[in-house]
Every structure is written in C-alpha cells, then in structure tokens.
Amino acid sequence: MGTDDTAPDNIMVSMIDTATVPARIETDEQYDALHGRFGQLFSNPRRTAEEKRLMDLFGVLIQEYDRRNALVVEKSSPAEILQFLVEHSGKSATELLSPVFDERRLFSVATGVHRLH
C-alpha cells in the first residue's frame, strides 16, 4: 500500500507513540483512546504480525483496567449493582430493568426495599 502512515499496512507506525500508549491505563480517557485503537486493529482482518502483538498488548491493558475498575458483584447490593450499570451504560434504571420488572417493583429494588433473588 504506499508509505502513507494512515494506510492499513502502516497502522502500527501511526499507533506506536510512547507518549500515548501507557504502560498501565490509569484514566477513563486513556481507556477510551486505547479501546478505540484496539477496535481499529480488530476491524482490520489483514493485520500484520506486529499489529497482532500490539492488539494482544492492548487487550491485556484493557482487561487489567476493567478488573481494577469493575464492580465486585459478590460484595454489592442490588441497588449498588443497578447504580453501577446506570453509570456505565448510559441508560436509566427504568430502561435497564423495565423488561424484567414493573415500575413499582423496580422502584422497591432500586431503593433497597426488596431484594433481587
């Protein structure tokens, strides 16, 4: 494909910048940027060996960040789980649970009056 740094066969060149690829993801902004780069690599079915290794590295960094920032379900109440899902999905509690519960039951679960079984 040419020498254009944005060409698919040169995506590795345009993606490796030690100032922008963290050794560990610390912020949501870094996570979003790295996740976007991972998506670019993933959507390219003709990855080079270097791009495959880079994609593997990005995957490890993303998984490690997710583990550190994920909700521990076993130690969380239903209300905490619902709040976590609301914060991370961009949807309201009603949108998340309305297929499962009617609004009265939804409110009582969200406020902790009733438990999920």
Q: What is the pLDDT of residue 45?
A: 87
Q: What is the pLDDT of residue 84?
A: 81
Q: Give the pLDDT of the chain (117 residues) as one tens digit per residue.
A: 444 444 444 444 454 554 556 688 888 888 888 888 888 988 888 989 888 888 898 999 999 988 888 777 778 887 888 888 887 777 887 777 766 656 666 667 667 776 665
Q: What is the pLDDT of residue 22?
A: 66
Q: What is the pLDDT of residue 1?
A: 43
Q: What is the pLDDT of residue 76?
A: 81
Are 66 and 54 contacting, i.e. CB atoms less than 8 angstroms apart?
A: no
Note if the pTM is more than 0.75.
no
Q: What is the pLDDT of residue 2?
A: 44
The dihedral built from the CA positions of residue 43, 26, 30 and 91, taken in this order, carries a sign that is positive
Token pair in block for residue 22: 């963290």
Helix (H) and strand (E) counts in the chain:
6, 0
* Angstrom distance (rounded) from CA 103 to CA 42: 40
